[in-house]
């Protein structure tokens, strides 16, 4: 039984890395492909990619692909705290691989790569760090509410990743011009490391993680239906 558990966890980590890679390669790649000039296309690419990734890998890992989602689920009691570090590592590895793949794929367009920093989220002109942190936190709260409402709650409509992908797309349409609407520390990390672009890096860690914690608490103590209240049961990916 112990070996089965280890195998299941390793499979979940591989799924997290693969889903993160797919999500970020398409999302960041869309930014490079449009040189960041088509917000609708960028929002659609991120939302569609995440919806498919969650639908494809959710049964194996829960389909987080985001350290903030993992944290929010742990705060809500829906993910084991002992597995938060390993999920984060898998997500960051997937993100880094996506950054490298974007650079390789668009090597023929160095101007686009340089102009977009490989799709790294960035602050809009005149946006302060405090404003950016607040916006990232708010957008992440909305994302986590979508996760809880459409994937976690026992009363959730069975629409797979569709609702979550739509929320990401909507968040980008609103916040893309403010912060790039990362809602995800790993989404910043992958392309930023490969591009060597670290401006306002703390915005993309503080904002999403604070927002995720707020959303996790709100689900656990306010929004969870009676049958899913404390003590909450962590979601166990299928073997």
Give the CATH number for residue 113.
1.20.1080.10
Domain assignment of residue 69, yes or no: yes
| 157 within a domain of the structure (yes/no) | yes
- Structure confidence at residue 231 (pLDDT): 59
| Tokens linked to 13 | 């980590």
pLDDT of residue 1: 42
What's the mean per-residue pLDDT of the chain?
94
What is the chain's length?
239
Contact criterion met (CB below 8 Å) for 152 and 161? no
For the chain, first and last CA: distance in Å? Answer: 12
| pLDDT reported for residue 5 | 57
Does residue 237 form part of some domain? no
CA distance linking residue 222 with residue 235, whole number of Å:
19
Confidence of residue 102 (pLDDT cuts 50, 70, 90): very high
Domain assignment present for 187: yes
Q: What are the tens digits of pLDDT across the range 40-83?
A: 999 999 999 999 999 999 999 999 999 999 999 999 999 999 99
Question: What's the average model confidence in pLDDT over 78-98?
Answer: 97
CA dist 236 and 227 (Å) reads: 17
Handedness of CA 78, 82, 83, 85 (dihedral sign): positive
How far is it, in rounded angstroms, from Cα 184 to Cα 82?
20
Tell me the pLDDT band of 217, cut-offs 50, 70 and 90: very high
Q: Is residue 236 part of a domain?
A: no
Alpha helices by DSSP H, listed for 117-202, are 129-147, 162-175, 185-195
Q: Which residue shows structure tokens 């829906």?
A: 78
39-61 and 162-175 helices, crossing angle to 10°? 150
**What gap in Å lies between CA 165 and CA 183, rounded to an integer?**
13
**What's the pLDDT at 237?**
61
- pTM of the entire predicted model: 0.93
Number of domains in the chain: 1
Range of 4-13, 20-29, 156-165 with top mean pLDDT:
20-29
Q: What's the pLDDT score for residue 227?
A: 85
Short-list 37, 32, 8, CA closest to 190: 32
Q: Residue 201 falls within a domain, yes or no? A: yes
CA angle 202, 208, 190 (to 5 degrees): 65
* Domain assignment of residue 239, yes or no: no
pLDDT at 133: 98
pLDDT at 3 over 90: no
Residue 233 lies in a domain: no
The secondary structure element, H or E, covering residue 220 is: none
Cα 193 to Cα 36: distance, rounded to the nearest angstrom: 19
pLDDT exceeds 80 at position 238: no
For 4-18, 137-151, 190-204, 215-229, which range has the lowest pLDDT when averaged over its residues? 4-18
pLDDT of 4 > 60? The answer is no
- Give the residue numbers spanning the domain of 206: 2-228
């Amino acid at each position: 039984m112990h070996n089965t558990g280890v195998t299941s966890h390793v499979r979940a980590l591989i799924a997290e890395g693969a889903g993160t890679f797919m999500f970020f390669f398409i999302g960041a790649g869309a930014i490079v492909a449009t040189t960041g000039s088509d917000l609708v296309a960028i929002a659609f690419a991120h939302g569609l990619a995440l919806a498919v990734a969650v639908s494809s890998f959710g049964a194996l890992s829960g389909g987080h692909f985001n350290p903030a989602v993992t944290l929010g689920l742990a705060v809500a009691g829906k993910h084991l705290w002992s597995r938060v570090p390993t999920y984060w590592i898998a997500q960051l590895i997937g993100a880094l691989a996506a950054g490298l793949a974007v650079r390789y794929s668009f090597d023929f367009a160095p101007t686009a790569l340089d102009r977009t920093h490989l799709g790294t989220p960035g602050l809009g002109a005149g946006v302060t760090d405090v404003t950016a942190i607040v916006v990232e936190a708010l957008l992440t709260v909305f994302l986590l509410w979508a996760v809880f409402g459409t994937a976690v709650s026992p009363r959730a409509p069975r629409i797979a990743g569709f609702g979550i992908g739509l929320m990401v797309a909507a968040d980008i349409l609103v916040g893309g011009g403010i912060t790039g609407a990362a809602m995800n520390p790993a989404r910043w990390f992958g392309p930023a490391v490969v591009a060597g672009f670290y401006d306002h890096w703390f915005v993309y860690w503080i904002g999403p993680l604070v927002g995720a914690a707020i959303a996790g608490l709100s689900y656990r103590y306010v929004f969870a239906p009676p049958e899913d209240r404390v003590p909450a049961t962590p979601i166990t990916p299928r073997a």
